[in-house]
Amino acid sequence: MRKIETDIAIIGAGSAGLCAAIQAAAAGAGVVVFDENQLPGGQLFKQIHKFFGSREHQAGVRGFEIGQQLLEDVKKSGAKVMLDSVVYGLFAENSLGVIAEDKYHYEVKAKKIILAAGAKENYMAFPGSTLPGVMGAGAAQTMINVNRVLPGKRIVMLGSGNVGLIVSYQLLQAGAQVAAVVEAAPTIGGYGVHAGKIRRAGVPILTSHTIKEVYGKEEVEGVVLAQLDEKWQMIPGTEQDIQADTLCLAVGLNPMTELAWMAGCQFTHIPALGGHVPLHDHNMETTKPGIYVAGDITGVEEASSAMEEGKLAGIAAAAALGCLSQEEAAAKKQEVLRRLDMLRTGLFGEKRKAAKEQQMADMAGWQALTAEKGGVK
Amino acid sequence: MAEANKEILICRCQEVTLAMVEEAIAEGAFSVDGVKKRTRAGMGLCQGKSCERLVAKIIAEKTGQDPADVLPATSRPPVRPVKMGTIEGEMNA
């Protein structure tokens, strides 16, 4: 077995993990980032659309360009990135089990650990849901934008959140037909600007509709939709049959939390953030001292907030190691917190802000309870 | 639920149907781990990454538990498929 000793081990080289690495390494900490993929950057390199928000959040810049900049910054920072490296376990005393390139076994000892594992797509089960041609919208996005493979010629998208809308538009750009976007709720889930783009391209968005079944012999040949009533029940007689070879599911994401559970972190349940999420404080530190979280693992948001949370965790972990003075760390954190606050505004942001506040209030509640019992064991 | 729906695959890795999950709950399974032990749902290659949340939702609906109380299955290493030979071989090397 090979051994690695480092100040900070980061799991996940996506937007959160890379930002954490840049901050921590710039402060002088030794940093190693592990990612199971062959390429770093997480979801950023799939994001060929321009980002929203203000200039300091890189509005108007395309996701993959932000990814390229991050990779350059990581290189300059001195942080080491190990790709094709699966972290298969998190053990006592901040020890990680890692298998690299399918053949090398590492034991990694780190003074601090930052979990930035991201999220995975929700799945739905209905008749025909295991036929080839049914896939996550994120999977379809990887195929077209990273691997340059068209998943199908005629597509039905289930879900009109930003993922469903953006991926529908990118499928059109890649040369596929999008037969319809189907949404169970009575209103479109994502931003009007994204919905407008696909409506102008002639794609119908069917609200209060769902998938009744998907049919086909060897693979998807068609999708049967049905309308929903106010109680979300299918209305008999409203079925419509749409010919398609692909059904994409854009029905939300959920945090990838296995390692945080394994470490014994305390969780809370917040549906708006994707279900069970680890408790963390304003430093992104969990209930396990020395274990930090950042990005979608702390609750599903988007890349801009994941980057800010990553910076926060990187600064906090480096400061805890003495690489930054308390004053330096406080000034840096205050700046990040201000930007995070700006991101969590507006119709969608306010909801996330309330959810994140609940998460941190739950953390404070847990800390008070633990202090009563005589401190962390 | 219609008969056809009973055959929907909830865990595609282990080919566990909706009917099998419901039967496990009827037998007394009260948690994701309980359904897993009875049906093998979540024990396949993806280790429940597709089905776990579906199973949790069915349990909450059928048993009346708050979704917050239906926890994911116990997380154990390895959390990703790794070859035991890689762990073993390198350990002995």
The CATH number that applies at residue B69 is 1.10.10.1100
Single-letter amino acid, residue A202 = G
C-alpha distances in angstroms, A125 versus A46, A227, A249, A342? 26, 18, 11, 37
Q: Average the pLDDT over A151-178 and give the result.
A: 97
Contact B70, A276 (CB under 8 A): no
pLDDT tier at A292, thresholds 50, 70, 90:
very high
Q: What is the mean pLDDT of chain A?
A: 94
Residue B2 has pLDDT above 60, yes or no: no
> CA-to-CA distance for A96 and A106, rounded, in angstroms?
8
- Does residue A271 sit at the B interface (CB-CB below 8 Å)? yes
- Does residue A37 sit at the B interface (CB-CB below 8 Å)? no
| Domain hosting residue B38, numbered range | 3-92
**Which pLDDT does position A50 carry in this prediction?**
80
Residue A320 has pLDDT above 80, yes or no: yes
Q: Do A258 and B68 touch (CB under 8 A)?
A: no
**Which pLDDT does position A377 carry in this prediction?**
53
**Which pLDDT does position A53 carry in this prediction?**
67
Residue B66 has pLDDT above 60, yes or no: yes
**Which pLDDT does position A108 carry in this prediction?**
98
Q: Which A positions 326-355 lie with beta carbon below 8 A of chain B? A: none
The structure tokens listed for B14 are: 């282990």
Q: Average the pLDDT over A9-13 and give the result.
A: 97
CATH classification number, A123-249, choose in 3.40.50.20, 3.50.50.60, 3.40.630.40, 1.10.287.130: 3.50.50.60
% chain B with pLDDT above 90: 77
* Bond before B67 cis per omega within 30 degrees: no
Any idea how long chain A is?
Answer: 377
Q: Do B54 and A271 touch (CB under 8 A)?
A: no
CA torsion B30→B36→B40→B44, rounded to 10°? Answer: 150
Q: Average the pLDDT over A83-89 and give the result.
A: 96
> CA-to-CA distance for A49 and A63, rounded, in angstroms?
6
Nearest CA in chain A to B58: A125
Nearest chain A CA: its distance from B3 CA (Å) = 11
At the top level of CATH, which class does the domain A2-120+253-372 belong to?
alpha beta
- Enter the DSSP assignment of A298: G
Residue B91 has pLDDT above 60, yes or no: no
Residue A347 has pLDDT above 80, yes or no: no
Q: Do B71 and A276 touch (CB under 8 A)?
A: yes
Q: Do B77 and A261 touch (CB under 8 A)?
A: no
**Which pLDDT does position B17 carry in this prediction?**
97
Instruction: Give pLDDT tens digits for A116-133.
Output: 999 999 999 999 999 999
* Bond before A271 cis per omega within 30 degrees: no
Q: Do A86 and B5 touch (CB under 8 A)?
A: no
Domain ranges (residues) in chain A: 2-120+253-372, 123-249
**Which pLDDT does position B90 carry in this prediction?**
57
The pTM (predicted TM-score) of the whole model is 0.94
Domain total for chain B?
1
3-state secondary structure of A161: coil
Nearest chain B CA: its distance from A133 CA (Å) = 15
Q: Do B79 and A126 touch (CB under 8 A)?
A: no
ipTM: 0.93
Which region among A48-57, A179-188, A230-239, A335-344 has the lowest average model confidence (pLDDT)? Answer: A48-57
Comparison of pLDDT for A38 and A222, the residue scoring more: A222
Residue A150 has pLDDT above 80, yes or no: yes
Residue B54 has pLDDT above 70, yes or no: yes
**Which pLDDT does position B1 carry in this prediction?**
46
Q: Which of A2, A97, A267 sits opposite B77 (nearest CB)?
A: A97
pLDDT tier at B89, thresholds 50, 70, 90:
low
- Does residue B78 sit at the A interface (CB-CB below 8 Å)? yes
